[in-house]
Structure 1
């Protein structure tokens, strides 16, 4: 009889462990999705500033028509990003368009500093730069959450529970290839 109680106790403990691990995996997944939504929300806040910037860029139109197409491409990339589905390739496209647009606009403002709208334009560019800082922070948080989630489904006994019950897949963290390339360093394992 005592053996039966020990067996039932072990079984109950095992079930509680499995439920706790499963719930931890689900919680970390939800944290990844929420942090991804934060990144996309910051990206979409650019769409509040971009129409105003676009209006001012139109005044530079005779000087810098390429800039308008870059702003349009950025707005399109932001609109296509999904806050419900984690797709780092979308974010990569947005960040590439943002860098291209910021570079073009700085050149336009510096080339024509005496234009009447230069101060307004610089103010809008400052606002977008601040948004970029917020996005960088949100990406850092997203990557940290992805790391915690991936570790949580890859380590034992979580990997066992995940493969049997939860069946979650790893998320890909966001990497900015332009930043990596500018460092001239890549992380490699020793052989």
Structure 2
């Protein structure tokens, strides 16, 4: 073998190795990113189901003529905020996810206040349609928790793939950035603070 062929072969092997590494990194990152997109779709579906149920719940509660208007307005406004945020999972930032989490937490708090306030209305509590919606909401909250957990589970292998060295070098070249995790909603560990003032004139 001619001596000049040896460095040529070495260069070809190195270039081929770098090519295989780049292709392997990119393809794996794409697949992991698709898993995140799919799990995010499930998160959105679960939240959309809750929003639909809350809309029906509000209509049912509005049938109680003397029900506190302020409580309903709070739920309606929180629901409007929660549905106003759209996130692209391929470009999601920690700030976007934190804002999404914040408004969804605000809706959860408003909904809890509504359900506690219903305790003052025996007829409404006995309404079969209301009871059915309440049960479906409880089931949907579990679906949301599961969807958020699975989203985080899909984010972890992706982040491990793009953030660990030497893959982190290629991640910058291919524009693959780490994804944020869902964190617990602010105040989720605290009970809802409801002030029962039965002497207060209803709005």
Scaled to the shorter chain, the TM-score interval is 0.7 to 0.9
Partner of 1:126: 135
Partner of 2:46: 42
The yes-or-no answer on 1:10 pairing with 2:20 is: no
Q: Higher Cα Rg: structure 1 or 2?
A: 2
> Structure 2 CA distance, aligned partners of 1:44 and 1:124?
15
Q: Which has the higher helix share?
A: 1
Larger deviation, residues 10-19 vs 21-30? 21-30
Residue 69 in 1 paired to residue 79 in 2?
A: no
Distance 1:162 1:31 in 2: 17
* Closer/same/farther in 2, CA of residues 79 and 91 from structure 1, 3 Å limit: same
Aligned partner of 1:175 in structure 2 is: 183
Judge which range, 127-136 or 32-41, deviates more.
32-41
Q: Distance in 1 between matches of 2:175 and 2:120?
A: 56
> The residue matched to 2:182 in structure 1 has which SS?
coil
Q: Which residue of 2 aligns with 1:98?
A: 108
Distance 1:116 1:99, change over 3 A: closer
In structure 1, distance between residues paired with 2:167 and 2:102: 31
Following TM superposition, the consecutive aligned residue runs of length 4 or more in structure 1 with deviations greater than 4 angstroms are none
Return closer, same or farther for 1:146/1:26 CA change in 2, 3 Å cut-off. Answer: same
Q: How many equivalent pairs are there? A: 179
Does 2:62 match 1:58?
Answer: yes
Contact 2:26–2:174 (Cα < 8 Å) also in 1? yes
Other structure's SS at 2:119 match: helix
Deviation at 1:7, TM superposition (A): 2.8
Q: What TM-score comes out, normalization by structure 1 length?
A: 0.81
State the Cα distance separating 1:169 from its structure 2 match.
Answer: 2.3
Which structure 2 residue ranges, 5 or more long, are not aligned?
Answer: 191-203
Equivalent residue number for residue 193 of structure 2: none
**Residue aligning to 2:196:** none
Secondary structure of the residue aligned to 2:66 is coil
Distance in 1 separating the partners of 2:76 and 2:170: 46
Deviates more, 1:131-140 or 1:60-69: 60-69
Partner of 1:186: none
Residue 165 of structure 2 is aligned to residue 156 of structure 1: yes
